[in-house]
Amino acid sequence: MTLGGAALLVAGALTAEAASSGSGAAAAGPARAVSLSKPATYTGRAFDTCTAPTLAQMKAWKTASPYGGAAVYIGGKNRGCAQPQLTPDWVKSVSAVGWKLIPLYVGAQPPCKSGSNPERMTAATAASLGATDGADAGAKASALAMRPGSPVYLDMEGFDTTNTSCKDTVLTYTRAWNKALHAKGYRTGYYGFASSSAAAVAAVSPGTDMPDALWYAAYDDTESTTTGYPFGTKWAGHRRGHQYAVNKKETYGGVTLTVDRDAWDSMVAVVAK
């Protein structure tokens, strides 16, 4: 996924899971100062595209495609695509016809990442930027009629994890982002590459303000969140997404989109009626 380059669409069976303090899922997650409502999870096929499709396109794909949901870029200074469709009315309308939404936020990027980004963290600014961006992510989700208890997935692009200073800076930012978003009553997800940015958070013990769910990129053409999963038992229990192929042109119902393909078994937004 390039920055701002994917919106996730998913299909499968919608379930709701209790997140009481005595449940195994809650015990595995990070400690929080707030009580979150139970999450909605969704399992099935998925795809990404940069700009959220129009309502007419979404309706066409809902009827003709094997997909059933959409992850949308709700904010972040590094969001690379315009989102003219993305309004509370659009969110409610696509949800009403059956799509499930996964919010994605393109926050500050690693200091050792190549390229130019409008917002890049440093060791000195990681904690404050993470707190500010996490609070902003919660505010953006709320403004789009995505209720507390919904997840927001932080897009962290690949970087050199052998650079200890860079990795520690990313973890500092991620912890602060997670804590700020939890304080708003939202769950936290994390998009990253299995070989780098996802591996960085996977190496940290659970319960230390790490993400509630992991969406990992590994381009193996395997539509699964279990086969070839590189992180053992971590993020089990409907908390995984897998981006397994990129830049595929698909046409359904007369609508053609260039997409990335994902397998999804994780949390989705709870949308206000």
Summarize pLDDT for 205-249 with one digit per residue, the tens: 777 788 999 999 999 999 999 999 999 999 999 999 999 999 999
- On the question of pLDDT at 18 being above 70, the answer is no
User: 10 Å Cβ neighbour count for 251?
Assistant: 12
pLDDT at 37: 62
pLDDT at 273: 86
- Phi then psi for residue 165, to 5 deg, are -60, -45
Q: What does the block give as tokens for 96?
A: 């009403």
> For residue 49, what pLDDT band results from cuts at 50, 70 and 90?
confident
Task: Compare 203 and 12 and report the one with higher pLDDT.
Answer: 203
- On the question of pLDDT at 21 being above 50, the answer is no
> For residue 3, what pLDDT band results from cuts at 50, 70 and 90?
low
DSSP letters, the chain, are: --TT----EE-SEEEE----TTSHHHHHSPP-SSPPPPPEEEEEEEEE-SSPPPHHHHHHHHHHSS--EEEEEEE-TT--S--TT-SHHHHHHHHHTT-EEEEEE---B-TT--S--S-B--TTTHHHHHHHHHHHHHHHHHHTTB-BTBEEEEE-----TT-HHHHHHHHHHHHHHHHHHHHTT-EEEEEEETTTHHHHHHTSPTTSS--SEEEEE--S----SSTT-SSTTTTTTT-EEEEEEEEEEEEETTEEEEEEEEEEEEEE--B--
pLDDT at 16: 36
Of 7-21, 88-102, 177-191, which range is least confident?
7-21
- On the question of pLDDT at 27 being above 60, the answer is no
C-alpha to C-alpha distances, 32 to 36, 45, 192, nearest whole angstrom = 9, 31, 23
The residue behind tokens 């991620």 is: 174
Task: Tell me what percent of the residues of the chain surpass a pLDDT of 90.
Answer: 73
- Phi then psi for residue 71, to 5 deg, are -90, 135
Whether 138 contacts 182, CB under 8 Å: no
pLDDT at 90: 96
pLDDT at 22: 30
Whether 267 contacts 39, CB under 8 Å: yes
pLDDT, averaged across the chain: 86
Task: Tell me what percent of the residues of the chain surpass a pLDDT of 70.
Answer: 86
Task: Compare 32 and 65 and report the one with higher pLDDT.
Answer: 65
Whether 201 contacts 168, CB under 8 Å: no
